[in-house]
Amino acid sequence: MPDCKCSIQAIASESTSSTSLEEIKLSNGTGIGFELAGLILVHPYFWGNDPLEDEATEPEKLAKIEIWWRLANPTTTGFDDPYFNPGKDLGILRMGCSRILACVAKKDELRARGWYYKEVMEKSRWEGEVEVMEANGEDHVFHLINPTSENAIAMMKRLVEFMNDHR
């Protein structure tokens, strides 16, 4: 059988699915037949047991975050699950692409984790580029609520630029 191989320029994902899509690193780069140039995480749903600066610590907010996470991943081990907290992911070096774009929103409770993701990737020995695009004055998934807003259009333009950059 001939070797079937394709090249995917970028994969994009939204909110809680960003978390599971990030796990593509476990299957990519293992000779299974595709190359991934880039990964886009739009408002990634990451968290952890130890709060970062500016993260919610109120029990009712934490409960809401946990409920959504458990809906997305019923078998989770909790806030420090490697799928939910990239800082606890021992396989982070297996990221199967060379570029990552993470989009965050200034008012989003999950914003700090998007920036933390960049920090984790840069501190690891992974040899790729990570960019964070932050939308000022916006909340989680704002672009779905108001897709014609200035910030939503700017984000869409950046996503298209990222996908069309064939490094």
pLDDT digits (tens, 9 = 90+) for 15-47: 554 444 445 544 445 455 566 788 899 999 999
Q: What pLDDT does 28 receive?
A: 46
pTM, entire model: 0.82
Structure token pair of residue 81: 């699950």
CATH code, 6-164: 3.40.50.1820
d(CA 17, CA 34): 20
pLDDT digits (tens, 9 = 90+) for 115-164: 999 999 999 988 899 999 999 999 999 999 999 999 999 999 999 999 99
- Mark residue 72 as left, alpha or beta (left: phi above 0; alpha: psi -120 to 50; beta: remaining): alpha
Mean pLDDT in the chain? 83
pLDDT digits (tens, 9 = 90+) for 79-114: 999 888 989 988 887 777 889 999 999 999 999 999
Q: Report residue 40: phi and psi, to 5°.
A: -115, 125
C-beta separation of 46 from 105 below 8 A: no
pLDDT digits (tens, 9 = 90+) for 110-123: 999 999 999 999 99
